[in-house]
Structure 1
Amino acid sequence: MGIIPLCFKAGENTETLGLTGHERYNIDLPSNVSEIRPGQDVTVATDNGKSFTCTLRFDTEMELTYFDHGGILQYVIRNLISRQSLNQLQ
């Protein structure tokens, strides 16, 4: 998968949440990318038991499409391959 852009809620940051950067994070995303909406809130849990809410910073449906493909590069490559395959069939 691609990178998941998150934004802390107003008034929260690494310091107020007591995060050091050494934690492992589990982000509670819907299992299907089609269920994710731009600006949706998600729960983030750390391996040390802390839990907090962040906003997904997928701002457009296209950004979600890139994420679903594993990133913009993978999306572009898949589209190029698909177009080449269609051209060969014609």
Structure 2
Amino acid sequence: MNEYSVDFKLKIVKMILNDHISKKSIMREYNVATKTQRQWVEKYQTEGISGLITKRKIRDKIPTNQEEASIESLKHEILMLKVEIERLKKGYSSEDVKYLK
């Protein structure tokens, strides 16, 4: 599902109402379904610009245990890459380090 800005919705609505541009040509140009355009026009005509504001609530994303484990895994990988970068800066290759162990 696409999320359109209020400015974009208003632009489309004004093209339909003021400029009398067809919904089909707007659909071809901006890839917005005619049904969606019709809904925007109806909301604009009944509620004004405030009708074009998305009213869906965005839930706060609470990390799950799996996401926390993934974050820890990524942090570990970043640390290992930083260590590898430092080794390469000093002229060691990964294979040289294996022999040092």
Q: Which has the higher contact order (CA 8 A, sep 6+)?
A: 1
| Structure ID, larger Rg | 2
Asked whether the two chains share a fold, i.e. TM above 0.5, the reply is no
Structure with more of its chain in strand, by fraction: 1
The TM-score normalised by the length of structure 2 is: 0.23
The TM-score normalised by the length of structure 1 is: 0.25
